[in-house]
């Protein structure tokens, strides 16, 4: 497996992994799939400070992770939000852990101060992954999401670089 910066040529694979999550999981609260044009606009909103990384196995993109601006307000410039998705047929093989380690290192190298994670209630694997990478629990927003006919809590986690 290789972890590398995402390129335009990866967008169809990134989009496929994301849309799979939209349709089948609460890992994202999007309820409608994205188009390639929408995914390209998302990609263009990332810069040197907010990278998108992909995990590649034998030429296939099998996961991706990104740091996105937490807010457009200047006081939040040193804070980013993490996103991480692994293709369903490749989960449980360490891909998420490798992407997490690479992304945390990328944030450190870009001199970020904090990374925020929002994780849907019931996603214990993601909560564990974030804890193992040094994220702390900072609270739970009760029933703020609604997907698949259910109200869903969101766990807030945070990594502060020291």
Q: What sign results for the dihedral spanned by CA atoms 123, 136, 101, 71?
A: positive
Contact yes or no for 107/61 (Cβ under 8 A): no
Q: Which residues contact 134 (CB under 8 A, 6 or more apart)?
A: 104, 159
Domains defined for the chain, CATH in brackets: 2-160 (3.40.630.30)
- Res 122: pLDDT: 87
Q: Which residues pair with 114 in a beta bridge?
A: 79, 160
Burial of 24 (0-12, 13-18, 19+ CB in 10 A): exposed
63: nearest Cα among 73, 55, 71: 55
pTM of the predicted model as reported, rounded to 2 decimal places: 0.94
| Interatomic CA distance for residues 72 and 62, integer angstroms | 30
Angle at 65 between CA 40 and CA 119, to 5 degrees: 110
- Candidates 96, 138, 120, 100; CA nearest to 29 is 120
pLDDT in tens, the chain (162 residues): 999 999 999 999 999 999 999 999 999 999 999 999 999 999 999 999 999 999 999 999 999 999 999 999 999 999 999 999 999 999 999 999 999 999 999 999 999 999 999 999 989 999 999 999 999 999 999 999 999 999 999 999 999 998
Count of residues making up the chain? 162
Distance between CA atoms of 88 and 17, rounded to whole angstroms?
8
């Amino acid at each position: 497996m290789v972890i590398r910066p995402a390129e335009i040529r990866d967008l169809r694979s990134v989009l496929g992994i994301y849309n799979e999550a939209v349709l089948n999981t609460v890992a994202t609260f999007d309820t409608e799939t994205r188009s390639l044009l929408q995914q390209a606009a998302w990609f263009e909103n990332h810069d040197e400070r907010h990278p998108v990384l992909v995990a590649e196995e034998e030429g296939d993109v099998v996961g991706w992770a990104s740091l996105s601006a937490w807010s457009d307000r200047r006081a939040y410039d040193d804070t980013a939000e993490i996103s991480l998705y692994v293709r369903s047929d490749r989960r449980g093989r360490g891909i998420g852990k490798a992407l997490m380690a690479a992304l945390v290192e990328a944030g450190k190298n870009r001199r970020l101060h904090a990374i925020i994670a929002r994780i849907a209630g019931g996603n214990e694997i993601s909560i564990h992954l974030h804890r193992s990478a040094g994220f702390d629990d900072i609270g739970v927003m009760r029933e703020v999401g609604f997907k698949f006919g259910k109200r869903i809590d969101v766990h807030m986690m945070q990594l502060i670089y020291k």
